[in-house]
Structure 1
Amino acid sequence: TQNGFCESIGSHPSRTIMLQEMESLFQNISPDAPFIIIKDAVIHDNILNKKSISGRNKTLSFLKRMYGLDDSIPLYRVFRYLFKQYEKEHPILLLLYALARDKSLRIAADYVLSLDCGAQANKDDLIHILSQYLEGSFTEKTLKSMAENLLSSWTQSGHLVGKVKKIRTKSTSGPASLTFALYLGTLIGLGGIMLVKSPFMSVLDLNETERDELLHSASVMGFISYKSAGGMIEITMKNPVYSLGEV
Structure 2
Amino acid sequence: MLQEMELLFQNISPDAPFDTIKDAIINENILNKKSISGRNKTFSFLKRMYGLDDSIPLYRVFRYLFTHYEKEHPTLTLLYALARDKSLRISADYILSLDCGTQARKDDLIQTLTQNLDGSFTDKTLKSMAENLLSSWTQSGHLIGKGKKNRTKSTSGPASFTFALYLGTLIGFGGVMLMRSPFISILDLSDTERDELFHSASVMGLISYKSAGGVIEITISDLIRSLGGV
TM-score in terms of structure 2 length: 0.98
- Of residues 61, 66, 69, the one that matches 1:86 is 69
CA displacement, residues 92-150 of structure 1 (integer Å, 9 cap, x when unaligned): 00000000010000000011011111111111111111001113120111111111111
Number of the residue aligned with 2:119 = 136
Number of the residue aligned with 1:186 = 169
C-alpha distance in structure 1 between counterparts of 2:26 and 2:109, whole Å: 35
Number of the residue aligned with 2:187 = 204
Number of the residue aligned with 1:175 = 158
Unaligned runs of 5+ in 2: none
Please say if 1:146 is aligned against 2:129.
yes
C-alpha distance in structure 1 between counterparts of 2:41 and 2:101, whole Å: 36
| Structure 1 position 170, deviation (Å) | 0.7
State the one-letter code of the partner of 1:98: A
On the 8 A contact 1:226/1:234 being kept in 2, the answer is yes
Greater RCO, 1 or 2 (C-alpha within 8 Å, sep 6+): 1
Please say if 1:165 is aligned against 2:148.
yes
On the 8 A contact 1:222/1:239 being kept in 2, the answer is no
| Structure 1 position 228, deviation (Å) | 1.1
Number of the residue aligned with 2:202 = 219
Number of the residue aligned with 1:15 = none
On the 8 A contact 1:66/1:101 being kept in 2, the answer is yes
State the one-letter code of the partner of 2:124: K
Please say if 1:241 is aligned against 2:200.
no
C-alpha distance in structure 2 between counterparts of 1:85 and 1:67, whole Å: 17
State the one-letter code of the partner of 1:202: S
Percent of aligned pairs with the same amino acid: 81
C-alpha distance in structure 1 between counterparts of 2:118 and 2:228, whole Å: 35
| Structure 1 position 233, deviation (Å) | 1.0
Number of the residue aligned with 2:97 = 114
C-alpha distance in structure 2 between counterparts of 1:93 and 1:62, whole Å: 17
State the one-letter code of the partner of 1:124: D
SS at match of 2:222: coil
On the 8 A contact 1:117/1:167 being kept in 2, the answer is yes
Please say if 1:230 is aligned against 2:202.
no
CA displacement, residues 47-81 of structure 1 (integer Å, 9 cap, x when unaligned): 10011222111111111111111111110000000
Instruction: Trace 1:3-14 onto structure 2 (pairs within 5 A).
Output: none
Runs of 4+ residues deviating >3 angstroms: none
C-alpha distance in structure 2 between counterparts of 1:135 and 1:182, whole Å: 30
Task: Name the one with the larger helix percent.
Answer: 2
SS at match of 2:134: helix
| Structure 1 position 231, deviation (Å) | 2.1
Unaligned runs of 5+ in 1: 1-17
CA RMSD of aligned residues (A): 0.9
State the one-letter code of the partner of 2:14: P
C-alpha distance in structure 2 between counterparts of 1:232 and 1:211, whole Å: 16
SS at match of 1:121: coil
State the one-letter code of the partner of 1:185: G
C-alpha distance in structure 1 between counterparts of 2:37 and 2:118, whole Å: 32
| Structure 1 position 19, deviation (Å) | 0.6
Number of the residue aligned with 2:38 = 55
State the one-letter code of the partner of 2:28: D
